[in-house]
Copies of this chain bind each other. A is one copy, B any other.
Amino acid sequence: MKMAWNAYGKERVKLVRVERRGETHEITDLSVCIQLEGDFTAAHAAGDNTNITATDTMKNTVYALAGAGTGEIEEFAARLVSHFLRINPAVTKATVDIWESPWTRISVGGKPHGSAFVRAGSDKRTTEVTGTREATIVRAGIDDLVVLKSSHSGFEGFRNDIFTTLEETSDRIFATAIQANWLYARAGVAYGALWQGVRRTILETFAEHDSRSVQHTMYAMGDAVLASFDDVSEIHFSLPNKHHIPVDLGPFGLRNNNEIFLPTVEPYGLIEATFRR
């Protein structure tokens, strides 16, 4: 038997950092995952842990490195990647994923409070940084951006086979929870501003697009992002189709003018693609 591939690490290291500037605080709310690949054959085959950095040590490292501030999550992930490659010569590849949860200031008498926050929106900002001794790759992303459009969305002209019962429609609800991640052409770009820009471009394209399918709008969103941001060289989307089924009110003597929908949890469509410059 040979080991074809192996990796190990720590998932969901939770960290909240408070930065205090007098009465004005900033909070950073992260969930960090670390995976290391390398020469760990002795640990597997012989129970020899000499090359193993304990996953508990990985957790400690997150807190220790956060002590000096995290910066943008892409930067913090890159620092962690570098650290693990440097601290353990057996490591050939390190991957760090970070999810950041958004908070906004509570408004008191119309003014944002300095140190009280409320969770904003459903979406998370994400990053995945992968490093070897030769190169580092930085991806950024967004997760669980829940959107719905109630016009300019149809699904027509699809294949008809013996098991097809779905009717064509030129007016359906299109609802999804956008998961996207994109590759930066180089490290050290303006991560924060770019993330805001890509998020806005995705949302605006979703809103404005005359959609003939999930694929059609996904492609348009990819096209818009790659056209607008030179620093993005590739973008991947994963879009669940959160079906909204018009309810038949006929049995009750009523008409449903595309107004009353049953949103369903399962089954759901799943549409994915990677677009590249």
Interface set of A (CB-CB < 8 Å, partner B): 1-20, 23, 25, 27, 29, 33, 35, 40, 43-57, 59-61, 63-64, 66-67, 87-88, 103, 106-109, 113-122, 145-152, 155-159, 161-166, 173, 203-204, 206-208, 211-216, 218-219, 222-223, 226-227, 234, 240-241, 244, 247, 249, 251-252, 254, 256-277
B155 in contact with A49 (CB, 8 Å): yes
Option from B25, B121, B270, B276 in Cβ contact (under 8 Å) with A8: B270
A19 contact set on B, CB distance < 8 A: 259
A3 contact set on B, CB distance < 8 A: 219, 273-276
Residue of B nearest to A252 (CB): B64
Can you name 9 A-B pairs with beta carbons within 8 Å? A2-B275, A9-B269, A16-B260, A43-B215, A49-B157, A52-B158, A52-B213, A116-B150, A265-B266
A254 in contact with B64 (CB, 8 Å): yes
A270 contact set on B, CB distance < 8 A: 8-11, 33, 35
- Distance to closest chain B CB from A152 (angstroms): 7
A87 contact set on B, CB distance < 8 A: 161-162
Option from B45, B57, B261, B272 in Cβ contact (under 8 Å) with A6: B272
- Distance to closest chain B CB from A176 (angstroms): 11
A151 contact set on B, CB distance < 8 A: 23, 25, 114-115
B254 in contact with A117 (CB, 8 Å): no
- In the complex, A117 Cα to B98 Cα: how many Å? 27
Residue of B nearest to A225 (CB): B1
A53 in contact with B272 (CB, 8 Å): no
A262 contact set on B, CB distance < 8 A: 14-16, 63
- In the complex, A270 Cα to B95 Cα: how many Å? 13
- In the complex, A113 Cα to B216 Cα: how many Å? 20
A207 in contact with B61 (CB, 8 Å): no
A265 contact set on B, CB distance < 8 A: 265-266
A148 in contact with B88 (CB, 8 Å): no
- In the complex, A19 Cα to B208 Cα: how many Å? 19
Residue of B nearest to A259 (CB): B18
A59 contact set on B, CB distance < 8 A: 267
Extra pairs beyond A11-B240, A53-B161 (20, CB < 8 Å): A1-B222, A8-B215, A8-B271, A10-B267, A14-B267, A15-B261, A15-B263, A16-B173, A23-B151, A25-B151, A43-B212, A47-B213, A50-B158, A57-B159, A57-B161, A57-B166, A61-B163, A87-B161, A117-B148, A118-B145
